[in-house]
Structure 1
């Protein structure tokens, strides 16, 4: 599961995985500054993350006399040291020409500002990702808003959980180096050149506001970020800023859009796990997994339930305080999707707690 604040604990296992092909026997050593070439002029590097994920895949594409970098890792001492090793090692001392970020979560954008300033180059992001990231960073150090307190109280949180939310609020920006004050906007469907090849932007919603994938038809490569991961399913959450949102419908629609736009023959370069082939089968598996979860959840609503009462229908592991916020966001995404389909209804009781039942 993922809420954009603690991405290292943010993924849930997919119950059934399609058969995928992993063409590379060895991965680059995390943080070593070394790389594996996955296509002509396209390098695979791994930067360190804490928690269960352990690393994020980042990519460098030969761009004339330098390298375009896609995603960056968290702002940590270990990650900046790993990038210095990469600049001197796999990137051969050549400059970075631009920094491209798939979406706003800290493990992707964390060191974008540092690299952009170091090489005096432009940050490339979609508009919604850039401005929402700036907004969330601005919350750093703020007290938790009353809207957030009401949101989690309505989900059934107890006083201890809400106190924990208040204590942790405003931590998003701590993992992100100061963002550049200007950027170059990525737009869905546009094509731009990196080095010798054209790359097309394919955006998706649900996991983040306007996530950008990069597809190179000539190389048959798709840099998928968190939009399509081979072994884990990205968190899709409702947040206090938009409590009535239906991001799961956005997510399912976006996956279908990627499947229609990008051929199955591509080599998929994901942010987590290993590069793989089998894009369409994996997308089908992700969509069917959420549909099964929606069916299980709908079956639990014959009696009214709070958000915190439905975790067992969605998650195979216990939900502790460390991932309670992410689990709540994902459970709400499924509940709001059922409401949007006319399969569930919501009622607020006298204590301002929401109860969900089958419609």
Structure 2
């Protein structure tokens, strides 16, 4: 799972946390649901991670439900679904499953639900295809490209061995996906129970992340594109080491601010529903820009990716967070390079050293 670090873990978290409004004083227990807008039910499923829950949404759709996101493929999530389907979902069938993006906590039970109800999976193309690729890594040996990438970032031999041991774990949280899907794209209007939901696609956290916007009553299902108390992970991974996902992420935040009103009710994948979208978007943008400024100052002397955690995170990074922290560091370094503010040099040991331009 690649959802991100709490705001408190980031070095720029404390100064200006936006003031958000949380309209609901209760959270649904697993198997229960709370109606947060007309025909929109909030379900909260358990996750076996430090981030211990995911919000999923059941949208009334005729005699059935459109489900948005699914939880990870675990017995606890399946049990919660069984209880919800028999209880607050009134035994009505799932008419379709729509996944915002391809991370296991969002798509993990898509194949289980679509098979159970003989319905279609709706996703953007890149999310579906990349998920299939990552699931196919299960059981493979760690690729040499990945070892070279993390060695270049400054990982030790023991840390590289940990990467080799953990590689291929993505597919363990994903029930086999259906072999076909229904593609959604940015700007599509999806009719759910006779009401229009517009697909708003973002990038950076994942390659083609779909949010759902119901303008009629101002409801945004934001997935991981904007969260109230977690800074979504924006990382570079070994498959595309020169990528600049942070620039994509910042552009996506600006797009959401242009296209979605400030008073929208935001239904995030983690944390509680909230109002105050534009304040949150501004806070996230300021935070990353401050991080880039601090990072550039740190690069007066050459640094590896693992040497710059102090510029980005306010707490020590242990092995459990090493992959995400390294990915975020490289994302910020690549962004500085793209802006002409940093340069890199590969030494004879295959390690990348970064310095301010």
TM-score bin (small chain): over 0.9
The separation in 2 between residues aligned to 1:73 and 1:273, in whole angstroms, is 14
Q: Tell me which residue corresponds to 1:189.
A: 187
**1:29-58, Cα deviation, whole Å (9 max, x unpaired):** 1x2x11110011000010001232211000
Q: CA deviation at 1:322?
A: 1.2
The structure-2 alpha-carbon separation of the partners of 1:6 and 1:244, relative to structure 1 and needing over 3 Å to count, comes to closer
Report the equivalent of 2:66.
68
Match of 2:337 among 320, 339, 352: 339
Task: Give RMSD over aligned pairs.
Answer: 0.9
Q: Which residue of 2 aligns with 1:312?
A: 310
Check conservation: 2:135, 2:171, Cα contact below 8 A: yes
Q: Which residue of 2 aligns with 1:261?
A: 259
Query: Which of 5, 13, 24 pairs up with 1:11?
Result: 5
Separation in 2, partners of 1:85, 1:92: 10
Aligned residue runs from structure 1 range 208-219, under 5 A: 208-219=206-217
Aligned to 1:167: 165
SS for the counterpart of 1:322 is: helix
Aligned pairs, number: 351
Alpha-carbon distance in structure 1 between the residues aligned to 2:275 and 2:2: 28
Q: CA deviation at 1:6?
A: 5.5
Kindly state the Cα deviation for residue 197 of structure 1 after the two structures are TM-superposed: 0.9
Q: Distance in 1 between matches of 2:252 and 2:181?
A: 25
**For residues 51 and 155 of structure 1, what CA distance do their matches in structure 2 show?**
25
What is the alpha-carbon distance in structure 2 between the residues aligned to residue 90 and residue 157 of structure 1?
Answer: 48
Query: In the TM superposition, what is the alpha-carbon distance from 1:168 to its structure 2 partner?
Result: 0.5
Q: How does 1:28-67 map to 2 (within 5 A)?
A: 28-29=28-29, 31=30, 33-67=31-65
Deviations 1:2-38 (A, max 9, x none): xxx455xx32315132011100111111x2x111100
What is the SS of the residue equivalent to 2:320? coil
- Per-residue CA deviation, residues 97-122 of structure 1 (Å, 9 max, x unaligned), is 00000000000000010000000000
CA–CA separation in structure 2 for the residues paired with 1:12 and 1:250: 21
What secondary structure does 2:45 align onto? strand
Decide whether the 8 Å contact of 1:305 with 1:357 is kept in 2.
yes
The 5 A counterparts of 1:202-281 are 202-281=200-279
Long gaps (5+) in structure 2 = none
The equivalent of 1:117 in structure 2 is 115
Residue pair 1:12, 1:235 contacting (<8 A) in 2 also: no
